[in-house]
C-alpha cells in the first residue's frame, strides 16, 4: 500500500501540468484563522453582517472591526512549508499556476510567481471616494479608516454580494480547464464560483488531489488527510528524491 503522498508525488512527476486551488486551510499553520473549520472566523462573526458589501455600504465599521488588526499586522504573517513547497514545485516546472481564495498575500510572499487571487487581496486598500490606494499595513487610524479626502477606505477584497474580478476568474477557469492535475489544498469547497473550479478541471480530464485535514471534495481521485504544511513538504521530498533517481 503506497502512502498517499507518494502516489501524489508520482502522479505529479508523470503528468506535471499542475494547477493549485488553495483556501484558508493552507494559511492555518501561518497563524491565520480559517472561516469554517474549528475556531474559524464565521464561528464568531456572521459573514452576512461583517463581510457583506450591502452592510459595508451602510456601516463599514462592522467589516473593519474584524479586519482592521489583520491589515495593520499584515507584514507579520509569514508563509509556511506548504506555500514554500508550491514555490519549489513551480521552480521544478510541475506547478504552473496557483489560484487562491486567500486574501493574505502569502503565496506571493513565499515567492510563487503565477498567482491569481480570485477573492482579491487585503494588501490594497482603496478610498471609495477618490480611488487613492493605500498599502497594508500603512493605513490611517480609525474604524473605519478614512482617506485624506475624507472618503471611507475598503480593502480590494471580494465581499459577499460582490462580483469576483472578471479577469482573475477568466484566468482561473482557463487554467482549471487545461491542467492535468489539480491540487485542492485547504478549502471547504462551499463558496462559488471557486468551488466549481475542481469540477471544471475534472470535467476536462484532470486528476483531482485533495489535501485537507478532513474531506471536503468527495470526487477527488487522491486524498491526503494531513495538514497542508506536512503533506506538501512530504510530497515535495518524495518528488525531489525520485527526480535524482
Ligand atoms: N491544512 C489543511 N487543511 C486545513 C488546515 C490545515 N492545517 N486547517 C484547516 N483546513 C481545512 C478545513 O478542513 C477546511 O476544509 O481548510 C478548510 C478551510 O475552509 P474555510 O474556512 O471555509 O475556508 P475557504 O474554503 O478558503 O473559504 C472559502 O469563503 O468566507 C469566504 O471569501 C472567504 O475565501 C473564503 C471562502
Residue 161's pLDDT band, with cuts at 50, 70 and 90, is very high
Are 56 and 212 a contacting pair, CB within 8 Å?
no
Q: CA 44 to CA 55: how far, in whole Å?
A: 17
Say what the pLDDT of residue 3 is.
Answer: 86
Residue 47 CA, closest ligand 1 atom number:
30
Verify whether ligand 1 is closer than 6 Å to residue 144 (CB atom). no
If you measure from the C-alpha of residue 33 to the centroid of ligand 1, how many angstroms do you get, rounded to a whole number? 9
pLDDT per residue over 162-200, tens digit each? 999 999 999 999 999 999 999 999 999 999 999 999 999
Scanning the chain, the segments in alpha helix (DSSP H) are 4-15, 41-44, 47-50, 53-58, 61-72, 81-91, 106-110, 166-178, 197-203, 228-243
- Residue nearest ligand 1's atom 36 by CA: 191
Within the chain, what is the greatest distance between any pair of CA atoms? Answer: 64
User: What does the pLDDT read at residue 2?
Assistant: 67
Cβ–ligand 1 contact at 191 (below 6 Å)? yes
Domains and CATH numbers, the chain: 1-32+79-119+164-245 (3.40.50.1220), 33-76+121-157 (3.30.1600.10)
pTM (two decimals):
0.97
The average pLDDT across 57-63 equals: 97
Q: Percent of the chain having pLDDT more than 90?
A: 96
Q: Is the CB of 30 under 6 A from ligand 1?
A: no
Active-site position among 83, 119, 146, 196 = 119
Q: Is 29 in the pocket of ligand 1 (CB under 6 A)?
A: yes
pLDDT band at 245 (very low <50, low <70, confident <90, very high): low
Instruction: Report the 10 Å Cβ neighbour count for 167.
Output: 9
Q: Is 119 known to be catalytic?
A: yes
Q: What average pLDDT is seen over the chain?
A: 96
The partner residues of 153 in beta bridges, in order of sequence, read 127
pLDDT at 61: 98
Mean pLDDT calculated for residue range 23-39: 96
Kindly state if the Cβ of 25 falls inside 6 Å of ligand 1. Answer: yes
In the predicted structure, residue 244 carries a pLDDT above the cut 70: no
H-only helix segments in 16-165: 41-44, 47-50, 53-58, 61-72, 81-91, 106-110
pLDDT per residue over 73-90, tens digit each? 999 999 999 999 999 999
The residue whose CA is least distant from atom 15 of ligand 1 is: 188
| CA-atom Rg of the chain in angstroms | 18
Listing DSSP states for 200-222 in one string gives HHHHTT-EEEEEESS---TT-SE
Q: With 90 as the cut, is the pLDDT of residue 146 above it?
A: yes
Give the nearest ligand 1 atom to 42 CA: 30
Whole-number pLDDT of residue 1: 61
In angstroms, rounded to a whole number, what is the distance separating the alpha carbons of residues 103 and 120? 6
Nearest 5 degrees, angle CA 180-CA 185-CA 186? 160
Amino acid at each position: 500500500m503506497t502512502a498517499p503522498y507518494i502516489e501524489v508525488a508520482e502522479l505529479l512527476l508523470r503528468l506535471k501540468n499542475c494547477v493549485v486551488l488553495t483556501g484558508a486551510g493552507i494559511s492555518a499553520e501561518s497563524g491565520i484563522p480559517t472561516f469554517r473549520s474549528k475556531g474559524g472566523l464565521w464561528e464568531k462573526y456572521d459573514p452576512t453582517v461583517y463581510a457583506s458589501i450591502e452592510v459595508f455600504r451602510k456601516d463599514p465599521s462592522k467589516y473593519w472591526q474584524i479586519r482592521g488588526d489583520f491589515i495593520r499586522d499584515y507584514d507579520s504573517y509569514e508563509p509556511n512549508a506548504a506555500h514554500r513547497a508550491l514555490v519549489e514545485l513551480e521552480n521544478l516546472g510541475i506547478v504552473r499556476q496557483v489560484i487562491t481564495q486567500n486574501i493574505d498575500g502569502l503565496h506571493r510572499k513565499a515567492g510563487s510567481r503565477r498567482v491569481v487571487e480570485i477573492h482579491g487581496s487585503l494588501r490594497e486598500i482603496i478610498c471609495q471616494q477618490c480611488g487613492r490606494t493605500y498599502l497594508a499595513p500603512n493605513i490611517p487610524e480609525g474604524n473605519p479608516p478614512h482617506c485624506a479626502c475624507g472618503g471611507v477606505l475598503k480593502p480590494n477584497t471580494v465581499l459577499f454580494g460582490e462580483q469576483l474580478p472578471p479577469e482573475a476568474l477568466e484566468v482561473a477557469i482557463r487554467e482549471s480547464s487545461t491542467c492535468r492535475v489539480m491540487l485542492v489544498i485547504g478549502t471547504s469547497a462551499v463558496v462559488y464560483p471557486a468551488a466549481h473550479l475542481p469540477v471544471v478541471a475534472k470535467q476536462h480530464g484532470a486528476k483531482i488531489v485533495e489535501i485537507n485535514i478532513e474531506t471536503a471534495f468527495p470526487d477527488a481521485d487522491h486524498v491526503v488527510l494531513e495538514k497542508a504544511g506536512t503533506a506538501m513538504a512530504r510530497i515535495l521530498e518524495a518528488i525531489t528524491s525520485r527526480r535524482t533517481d
